């Protein structure tokens, strides 16, 4: 029995539960690898509750639950972007882009972001772009950073499926990532909300991000060309399934398009949602990196 098979067998119950929710299952990777030296941190992005608005670091779509509602599941498919990082596009800490799906983090009242995805980066002195898959329960505290790179090598063009699922019965999260190109995959053990924080489960988002706080903190947006998210779905606590367009028939959640702006310059844009009658998607496009860093 191989290492991946042994890990999969040990986590059969959790994987089965996630598969029922996500509709996918795959092999599970071994323990995450240690994070390299040149790695950013993810961040929340305050998104006003309107149909279209700007965000510091996110470009994509955010669903916000009604005042008495909560969301428990979000998923998306995308490809690991091929990034280009000329020196003219790097900030003090390089140029980065992350593609991910997650819960929470869209509003100023949110204390956490629960997310899983893949990212690429270029930093000064590095011979070429780096790429990795990751999961994260982000908090605003510098002492509680939960981001973990996954022991699944990913390459530009790989087809990736991700999901985040909140189990109301155990108050824990499951994070799932599959590389459909290589057949590798990973699912987390049950993860609790960090001690001292409240995970609201009131938003779900599928976005491209300039991580680390974006150009404001020296993390410019890497030139990723364009990328397409597809097959996205959202589920509420009561089991209502829907899409990023919102749940207009019963008002359980509403949708907002957000795009990254820094110093008055729009850095990325997202196209219209492909459908509002089932799993949907959209294409996100790079526009600009941010200010040039001069040592």
Residue 47, class by beta-carbon neighbours within 10 Å (0-12 exposed, 13-18 middle, 19+ buried)?
Answer: buried
3, pLDDT greater than 90: no
What pLDDT, in 10s, does the model give residues 201-223? 999 999 999 988 899 999 999 99
pLDDT at residue 18, as a whole number: 39
Q: Which residues contact 32 (CB under 8 A, 6 or more apart)?
A: 148, 149, 150, 151
187, pLDDT greater than 80: yes
The model's confidence at residue 24, banded by pLDDT at 50, 70 and 90, is very low
pLDDT at residue 52, as a whole number: 57
The model's confidence at residue 147, banded by pLDDT at 50, 70 and 90, is low
Number of neighbours of residue 283 by Cβ within 10 angstroms: 14
| Mean pLDDT value of segment 122-151 | 82
Could you tell me the two tokens for 134?
């990751």
133, pLDDT greater than 60: yes
Q: Which residues contact 38 (CB under 8 A, 6 or more apart)?
A: 94, 121, 123, 126, 130
pLDDT at residue 121, as a whole number: 94
Give the whole-number percent of the chain exceeding pLDDT 90: 59
157, pLDDT greater than 80: yes
227, pLDDT greater than 70: yes
Q: Select 3-286's CATH number: 3.50.50.60, 3.40.830.10, 2.60.120.700, 3.40.30.10.
A: 2.60.120.700
Listing DSSP states for the chain in one string gives --HHHHHHHHTHHHHHHHHHHHS-------SPPPP-SS----------SSSEEEESSEEEEEEEE-TT--EEEEEEEEEPPP-B--GGG-BTTBEEEEEEEEES-SSTT--EEEEEEEEEEE-TT-SS-EEEEEEEEEES-TT----EE-S----TT-EEEEEEEEETTTTEEEEEEEETTT--EEEPPPEEPPTT------EEEEEEE--TTGGGGT-EEPB--EEEEEEEEEEETT--EE-TT--TTTTSEEEEEEEEEETTEE-EEE---S-SSSSEEEEEEE----PPP--
């Amino acid at each position: 029995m191989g290492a991946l098979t042994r890990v999969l067998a040990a986590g059969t119950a959790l994987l089965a539960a996630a598969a029922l929710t996500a509709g996918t299952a795959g092999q599970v990777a071994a323990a995450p690898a240690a994070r390299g030296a040149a790695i950013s941190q993810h961040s929340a992005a305050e998104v006003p509750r309107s149909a279209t608005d700007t965000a510091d670091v996110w470009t994509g779509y955010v669903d916000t639950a009604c005042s008495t509602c909560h969301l428990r599941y979000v998923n998306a498919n995308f490809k690991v972007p091929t990034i280009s990082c000329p020196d003219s596009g790097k900030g003090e800490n390089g140029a980065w882009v992350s593609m991910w799906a997650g819960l929470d983090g869209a509003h100023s009242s949110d204390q956490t972001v629960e997310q899983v995805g893949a990212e690429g980066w270029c930093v000064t002195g590095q011979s070429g772009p780096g790429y990795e898959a990751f999961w994260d329960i982000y908090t605003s505290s510098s002492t509680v950073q939960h981001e973990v790179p996954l022991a699944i090598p990913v390459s530009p063009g790989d087809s990736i499926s991700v999901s985040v699922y909140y189990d109301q019965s155990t108050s824990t999260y499951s994070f799932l990532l599959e590389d459909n190109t290589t057949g590798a995959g990973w699912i987390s053990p049950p993860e609790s909300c960090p001690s001292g924080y409240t995970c609201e489960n009131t938003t779900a988002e599928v976005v491209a991000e300039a991580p680390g706080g974006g150009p404001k903190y020296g993390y410019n947006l890497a030139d990723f060309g364009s990328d397409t998210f597809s097959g996205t779905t959202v589920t509420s606590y009561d089991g209502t399934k829907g899409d990023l367009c919102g749940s207009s028939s019963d008002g359980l959640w509403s949708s907002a398009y957000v795009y990254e702006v820094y110093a008055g310059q729009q850095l990325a844009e997202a196209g219209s949602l492909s459908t509002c009658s089932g799993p949907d998607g959209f294409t996100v496009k790079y526009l600009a990196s941010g200010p040039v860093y001069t040592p």
